[in-house]
A and B are shown apart, each in its own frame.
Chain A
Amino acid sequence: MTETKTTEMNEITIATDVLIIGGGLTGVKTASDIAELGYNVLLIEKNSEIGNPKQLPGSIFGLNKGEDKGLQDLVDRVMTDDRIEVYTQMSLISVTGVPGDFNIRLSKGDDVIEYKVGAIVVATDFSLETLNEKYGLGLSENVITQSRMEAILALEEERKKILETYPRNIAFLVGFGQNATPLVNERVMRSILAISEIDGCNVYVYVSDIKVASDSLERMYKEGREKGAIYFKLKEIPRITQNGERLNIAFFDPVIRRNIELASDLLVIEEAICADPINRELAELLRIDLGPGGFLQNENVHFFPVHSNREGIFVVGSSRQVQNLPWAWTDVENVALEVKDLLGDGKKMVPKDTAVVDRGKCAMCLTCYRCCPHGAIYWDSRAIISSVACQGCGICASECPNNAIQIGGFNDIQIIEEIKKSVEQPGNGEPCMIAFCCENSAFEAAQMAKAFKMHLPTGLHIIKVPCAGKVDIHYIMTAFVEGADGVLVMACYQGNCKSERGNTHAGLRVDNVHRMLEETGFEKDRLRFATIASNMGREFSSIVLDLENRIRELGASPLKT
C-alpha cells in the first residue's frame, strides 16, 4: 500500500494581513474577531458606511428587540481599532497570487492601492427582491412589500395613520413567488406579532409551505395564530382582483373545501432574500465557484461551513447562504479558526514535495494552471505550484502532457512499482483486479468492507491515490499490460470530490481508455469506473464482486503471460 509520506518540510514566511470584503455586520464582526487574534485587517466596503451599508431592514437579522444592542458598539470599535483599516467606497479590482501571498489591488475612484494579504474573507450582504410581479400586482398604497410593512410598523406616525385609523384586514402572501426560506417566513411572523398589538387589525396569511426549520420559528408561528392570525395553506397562488379601494382574494380552502373570497385592505407581498449581485463579479476576480442561487459556495460537504474551493479564500454569512445573524456569527468564529490555522505566526511549515514541477520538462503550456481546482498554480518562466495552496490531489500531474509534475507520496515510479508488484502476486487462478481508490472515499469504503468482513475477491489489489483525478491513463494501461484481468477506477460522487473535478477527470480518462481498448479488440468491460462514498463498505463489496463475476465470464486477460 502506498503510504503518503511528505515528511520533508520547508519553513516559509507568509503574509498575515487579512482582507475582508463587505462591511455589513458580518464583515464587521469578522474584522473584529480576526483583529482580536493579532492580525492586521483591511475591511473594504463599496458603499459609504459600514455596519449596515445597504440599510437592510432589521428583521432580516432574526433578532428580537434588545438583542441587537451591542451591534453599534461593535461597529464603533472596528472603526477605531488600530489593527483594522476600514476603507469605504472601495472596490476590489484584482487578485493574484496564492494563500499567504495574495497581491490585491483596490480602487477608490481613480486611486488604486496595492496590498499583500495572506487570506481573504468574503462577507457580502443579502439583497432583497420584491416579488409583486410574480403575483401580477403593481405596488401601490394598499399593495406593499414586506420591507414597507416593517417600516410602517417601526414608525409611530405611519402606524397610526395606516394601521390604527379603522379596522383593517391585512393579507400576507408568502411562498408562491419563490421557494421561501425560514428567514422569509420569520419576517412575516414578526410583523404579525407586531400587528397583533394593534386593535382592529385582522391578519390573514396565504402561504404555500410554512418554513419553520430554524430556531424558535414553530413557537413564533403558534404565537401568531394564538393572537388571531389565520393561515391558509394553498397549493396555488390565490386570485387577486381590485374591488374599489379593497382587494379581493379568491382561493379554494383545502380545509373546509370551499371556494372563498375575502376582502383585504392591505396586501403585503413577500420579498426574496437573495445573494448579493456583486458575488458574480467577486467569483470571477477571486477565481472561486459561484454556487446555486448566486451564493459563493458550491454545495460540497468538504467546504462547509466557510471554505471556498480555494485555500485561503473563505466565505461567511450571507455570502454563502441565507442565514440570520446568529448563524452568520457562527460562521465568523469558524473563519477565525481557519485563518489562525492557515496563517499562524507568519512562519509556516509546508511539505517540500506535495507537488513539484520539473522545470526542465515544463513547456509552459499551463494545462496545470487551467485544471487545478484549488487555484494553486502560478508561473514565472515555468509553472510553479504553491505549497500552501496545493492540496496534493494530483490532477495537474495526471493532466500534464509532458509529465513534468510529481506528487509527493504518490509519484509515478512508486505507483507503477505498486501496480507491478500487485499483479506479480500469485493469484491461484483467481482473477487479478487492480482498484485505484481515492483516499477520501473508495479507499475508506474498502477499509470498511474489510473491517466488517464483507465479501471481497481474493485477487483484489487496492492502490490508494490522493484523488481519482491522479489515476493516469498510463497507470490503467500498465495494469493491463502487466497482466491484470480487471481494473477499477473508484472516485467520489459527483459533487463530493474534495478537489471538485477529480472524479470528472477520472471518468473522462476511463472513457478514453475504453475507446482505445475497443479499437484494439480488448474487452473494455475489464475496466470500470465507479463512484462511492467513504461510508459505503457494502457497495464497495458489491461493485468489486460484480467486476469479478464479469471477469470470470470473460476468462483470464489475453495479455496475461
Chain B
Amino acid sequence: MNTESKKAMVIGGGIAGLTAAWEMSKFGIEVDLVEKASFLGGHAIQFCCKATDECQQCGACSVEKMLKNVVNEPLIKIHHSTEIEKVQSNEKFLVSLKKDPEYIDPAKCNNCGICFEKCPVEGALMRGYSKNNMPLYAICEENCLFIKNKSCTVCQDACPEKAIELNKTGSLDELDVDAIILATGFQPFDATEKPTYGYGKFNNVITGMDLERSIRENGSGVRTSDGKEPHNVAFIQCVGSRDEHLGNLWCSQACCPYALRMSEVIKYKNPDTDITIFYMDIQNTGNNFENFYEKCKSDLRFIRNIPVDIYPMEDDRLRIRYMGEDDGLPVDEEFDLIVLSIGIMPGLDNGKLSELFGINLNQDGFFLSTDKLNKCTTSKEGIFVAGTAEGPKIIAASMAHAGQAACEAMKYLEATK
C-alpha cells in the first residue's frame, strides 16, 4: 500500500467519518473531511458517559478521543458547514462544494466564549458539545439578527481576538480526490411521528437523545418541566424501530444498550428512582451481557408491552396505559419522566446523495453495500460507505466499519496508482 500523494474525501464528520479519516491519515493520505453541520462529532459526540462505578463500554469517550485525534492531524483538512453540490467522475472524482460563510475564523478564535455570553438572541450563537470542536462556537444563520436584518453586531464587537466577521460570504470550492468514503450517518427517529406519545407537546416526554444530552450537561436526567430529578422513569423501547406500520423493518441495535446503560446510571446516582422498561425483546450489549442483564433485572422493572398512549396529567406527570403481564388487564400508571428510545433512521440526505454519487440505496433507505463479505463496498468503484450510513450500528461497530472502509479505500488508491 504505497498511497502517498493520493487524496481521499470523507463525507460526514461523525464517529465513522472521523475514524475513516484518521485511519487513512496514519498512512500519509491527505483527507478532506466534509461536514454539513457547524461542528464535527455527529450525534455520538452528544452522548454521555454511562459509567456507574465502572465503565459500561458505551463508547462515548472514544468519540471524544477520535475527534481530538482528527482536529490535531495536519493531513486532515476539515470543511465545516459544507455541502456537496456536484460530483463528476472519470478517473478521479471532481467534487463541487458549497461552503457556508465562516463567520468565526478558526485560526483566530481561542474559544474564550465571550461571543456566546454576549449574544442577545437565544440560539443565534451555538456552542459545540466537545472542547475538541475548533472553534467551539458558530453563528446560527436562522437566528442571528445580523443575518436577518443587519441589526446586531454584538458578538463581532465583543470578540477580543477579532475572529468574528458577520459580513463574510459563502464560497464554492472544487476538489479533486481519488477515493470517497460516505459516512453521512443516520437521522434519529422523529418522535413526533408517533403523535400519541405527545413528544414536543407534553412536558417530561423526552427521547433517548435528549436524555443523553441531559446527562452529559447536568450529570443526570432531569424533567423538562422543573429541571428536577424524577422519582420514577419509564423507557419505551423500539420507538420508530421494528415498526411494520412505519415500514421500518429493522432493529436499531443501539437503543436497548443505551436505555439499559442510562437506566443504570440514573439508578446508580439515585438508587431510589424507580425505572420501568417497556419492551418487545431486549437486545444484547456485549460479551458480558449475561451479567449486565442480571444486574439490570434486579435494578429495573421490565414489562413486555409497548404502550400506545401517553396522557398528560395536571402536575406535569404522565399516565401510561399498558396491558398487565399477569392478568392481561389494562393498567394505568403515572411517571415523572418518560424516555422514548428512538431508533436509527436513514439520513435525510440519502436520496439526494445517492443521486449525486450515482450509488444505490437499499430497501430501507440506507446505502446499499453490494458485497455481503465487504460491508463497505457501494455500487460504484472508488466510493465506500462507513458507519450508520449503511445501516444501524453501535459506536464500536461504526468504528470497525470505518476502519474497513479506510482499508478498502487505500487498497483502491494503491490499485489505481
For residue A447, which residue of chain B has the nearest CB? Answer: B131
Write the B320-359 contact mask toward A (1 if CB under 8 angstroms, else 0): 0000010110000000000000000000000000000000
- B residues near A (Cβ < 8 Å) are 1, 23, 26-27, 48-49, 51, 53-55, 57, 59-65, 68, 111, 113, 127, 130-131, 136, 216-219, 242, 244, 249-251, 253, 256, 280-284, 286-291, 293, 304, 325, 327-328, 372-375, 391, 396-397, 399-401, 403-404, 406-408
- Residues of chain A from 290 to 346 with CB closer than 8 A to chain B in the complex: 291-293, 295, 297, 299-301, 304-305, 321, 325-327, 329-331, 333-334, 336-337, 340-341
Instruction: Flag if A222 contacts B253 (CB, 8 Å).
Output: no
Instruction: Flag if B291 contacts A292 (CB, 8 Å).
Output: yes
* Closest chain A CB from B105 CB (angstroms): 18
List the B side residues contacting A213 at CB < 8 Å: 251, 253, 256, 283-284
- The segment out of A86-94, A148-156, A488-496 that lies at the interface is A488-496
The number of residue pairs between A and B whose CB atoms lie closer than 8 Å in the complex comes to 181
With A70-B373, A299-B286, A496-B55 in contact, do A451 and B111 touch (Cβ < 8 Å)? yes
List the A side residues contacting B282 at CB < 8 Å: 209
Instruction: Flag if B400 contacts A330 (CB, 8 Å).
Output: yes
Instruction: Flag if A535 contacts B403 (CB, 8 Å).
Output: no
C-alpha spacing A182/B283, complex, angstroms:
8
Instruction: Flag if A179 contacts B290 (CB, 8 Å).
Output: yes
- Residues of chain A from 47 to 79 with CB closer than 8 A to chain B in the complex: 63-64, 67, 70
For residue B46, which residue of chain A has the nearest CB? Answer: A535
* 25 A/B residue pairs, CB under 8 Å, sorted by A: A179-B289, A181-B284, A209-B283, A212-B251, A213-B284, A218-B249, A218-B250, A233-B281, A254-B325, A257-B328, A301-B396, A304-B59, A329-B374, A333-B407, A337-B26, A340-B1, A450-B131, A452-B127, A493-B55, A496-B51, A496-B55, A535-B49, A537-B131, A538-B218, A542-B219
With A295-B287, A333-B404, A447-B131 in contact, do A214 and B253 touch (Cβ < 8 Å)? yes
Instruction: Flag if A292 contacts B284 (CB, 8 Å).
Output: no
| Interface hub of A300, A337, A340, A441 (most chain B Cβ within 10 A) | A337
Q: Is A370's beta carbon under 8 Å from chain B? A: no
Which of B1, B256, B375 sits near A37, CB closer than 8 Å? B1
For residue A451, which residue of chain B has the nearest CB? Answer: B131
Instruction: Flag if A453 contacts B113 (CB, 8 Å).
Output: yes
C-alpha spacing A97/B120, complex, angstroms:
63
C-alpha spacing A213/B328, complex, angstroms:
28
Q: Is A105's beta carbon under 8 Å from chain B? A: no
For residue A324, which residue of chain B has the nearest CB? Answer: B372
Instruction: Flag if A341 contacts B26 (CB, 8 Å).
Output: yes
With A210-B281, A215-B391, A334-B403 in contact, do A304 and B396 touch (Cβ < 8 Å)? yes
Which of A219, A295, A304 sits near B250, CB closer than 8 Å? A219
Instruction: Flag if A337 contacts B23 (CB, 8 Å).
Output: yes
Instruction: Flag if A305 contacts B219 (CB, 8 Å).
Output: no
- A residues near B (Cβ < 8 Å) are 37, 63-64, 67, 70, 179, 181-182, 209-219, 222, 233, 254, 257, 291-293, 295, 297, 299-301, 304-305, 321, 325-327, 329-331, 333-334, 336-337, 340-341, 440-441, 444, 447-448, 450-453, 492-496, 531, 533-539, 542
Instruction: Flag if A222 contacts B48 (CB, 8 Å).
Output: no
Instruction: Flag if A495 contacts B54 (CB, 8 Å).
Output: yes
With A292-B287, A301-B396, A444-B64 in contact, do A329 and B373 touch (Cβ < 8 Å)? yes
For residue B56, which residue of chain A has the nearest CB? Answer: A495
* Closest chain B CB from A440 CB (angstroms): 8
Instruction: Flag if A304 contacts B400 (CB, 8 Å).
Output: yes
List the B side residues contacting A496 at CB < 8 Å: 51, 54-55, 61
Instruction: Flag if A321 contacts B62 (CB, 8 Å).
Output: no
For residue A71, which residue of chain B has the nearest CB? Answer: B373
C-alpha spacing A340/B55, complex, angstroms:
30
Instruction: Flag if A333 contacts B289 (CB, 8 Å).
Output: no
C-alpha spacing A448/B282, complex, angstroms:
34
* Closest chain A CB from B417 CB (angstroms): 15
For residue A63, which residue of chain B has the nearest CB? Answer: B372
List the A side residues contacting B280 at CB < 8 Å: 210
Which of A209, A254, A444, A494 sits near B55, CB closer than 8 Å? A494
* Closest chain A CB from B325 CB (angstroms): 7
C-alpha spacing A41/B397, complex, angstroms:
27
Which of B48, B61, B256, B284 sits near A301, CB closer than 8 Å? B61
Instruction: Flag if A535 contacts B54 (CB, 8 Å).
Output: no
Instruction: Flag if B287 contacts A535 (CB, 8 Å).
Output: no
Instruction: Flag if A334 contacts B407 (CB, 8 Å).
Output: yes
Instruction: Flag if A337 contacts B251 (CB, 8 Å).
Output: no
Instruction: Flag if A209 contacts B372 (CB, 8 Å).
Output: no
| Inter-chain pairs besides A214-B253, A305-B396, A535-B216, 13 sampled, C-beta below 8 Å | A63-B373, A70-B373, A212-B281, A219-B249, A254-B328, A304-B396, A493-B51, A493-B53, A494-B53, A496-B54, A533-B55, A535-B60, A539-B219
* Closest chain A CB from B329 CB (angstroms): 10
* Closest chain B CB from A534 CB (angstroms): 5
C-alpha spacing A212/B237, complex, angstroms:
14
Task: State the 5 A-B residue pairs at the shortest beta-carbon distance, nearest first.
Answer: A496-B55, A451-B131, A494-B54, A333-B407, A495-B55
For residue B291, which residue of chain A has the nearest CB? Answer: A292
Instruction: Flag if B283 contacts A535 (CB, 8 Å).
Output: no
List the B side residues contacting A67 at CB < 8 Å: 372-373
List the B side residues contacting A321 at CB < 8 Å: 286-287
C-alpha spacing A23/B288, complex, angstroms:
27
With A321-B287, A329-B373, A334-B400 in contact, do A493 and B407 touch (Cβ < 8 Å)? no
Instruction: Flag if B283 contacts A211 (CB, 8 Å).
Output: yes
For residue B279, which residue of chain A has the nearest CB? Answer: A209
Instruction: Flag if B289 contacts A536 (CB, 8 Å).
Output: no
Which of A219, A334, A451, A534 sits near B61, CB closer than 8 Å? A534
With A212-B242, A299-B288 in contact, do A326 and B373 touch (Cβ < 8 Å)? yes
List the B side residues contacting A216 at CB < 8 Å: 250
* Closest chain B CB from A214 CB (angstroms): 7
C-alpha spacing A509/B328, complex, angstroms:
56
| Interface hub of A182, A212, A291, A447 (most chain B Cβ within 10 A) | A212
With A67-B372, A493-B54 in contact, do A291 and B287 touch (Cβ < 8 Å)? yes
List the B side residues contacting A493 at CB < 8 Å: 51, 53-55
List the B side residues contacting A448 at CB < 8 Å: 130-131
C-alpha spacing A182/B401, complex, angstroms:
18
Which of B130, B242, B327 sits near A535, CB closer than 8 Å? B130
List the B side residues contacting A441 at CB < 8 Å: 61
List the A side residues contacting B293 at CB < 8 Å: 179
For residue A533, which residue of chain B has the nearest CB? Answer: B49
* Closest chain A CB from B198 CB (angstroms): 26
* Closest chain B CB from A30 CB (angstroms): 12
Instruction: Flag if B403 contacts A330 (CB, 8 Å).
Output: yes
For residue B391, which residue of chain A has the nearest CB? Answer: A215
List the B side residues contacting A218 at CB < 8 Å: 242, 249-251
Instruction: Flag if B136 contacts A534 (CB, 8 Å).
Output: no
Instruction: Flag if B51 contacts A533 (CB, 8 Å).
Output: yes
List the A side residues contacting B242 at CB < 8 Å: 212, 218
